[in-house]
């Protein structure tokens, strides 16, 4: 699956390139809503760019940077 990356995707991928992040932390640091970050992460996860590594805390890690 190929994804046309948005500005939000770039911001999320930049942060995940530094280390693991939760949805809440990504939302706070990127100034996008939690819902928008969550939706974009679902798309990035379906494309296998990111991986959810902890369900309870919604912790994500970068799997394969498409940029």
What pLDDT shows up at residue 55? 95
pLDDT of residue 1: 80
Class of domain 7-62: mainly alpha
Distance of CA 8 to the CA centre of its chain: 9
Query: What is the per-residue pLDDT for 3?
Result: 92
| R_g (Cα) of the chain, nearest Å | 10
pLDDT in tens, 13-58: 999 999 999 999 999 999 999 999 999 999 999 999 999 999 999 9
Side-chain-side CA neighbours of residue 66 (13 Å): 17
CA distance 4 to 20: 23
């Amino acid at each position: 699956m190929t994804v046309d990356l948005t500005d939000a995707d770039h911001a999320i991928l930049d942060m995940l390139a530094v280390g693991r992040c939760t949805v809440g932390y990504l939302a706070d640091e990127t100034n996008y809503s939690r819902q928008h970050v969550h939706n974009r992460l679902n798309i990035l996860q379906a494309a296998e760019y990111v991986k959810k590594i902890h369900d309870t805390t919604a912790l994500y890690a970068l799997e394969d940077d498409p940029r």
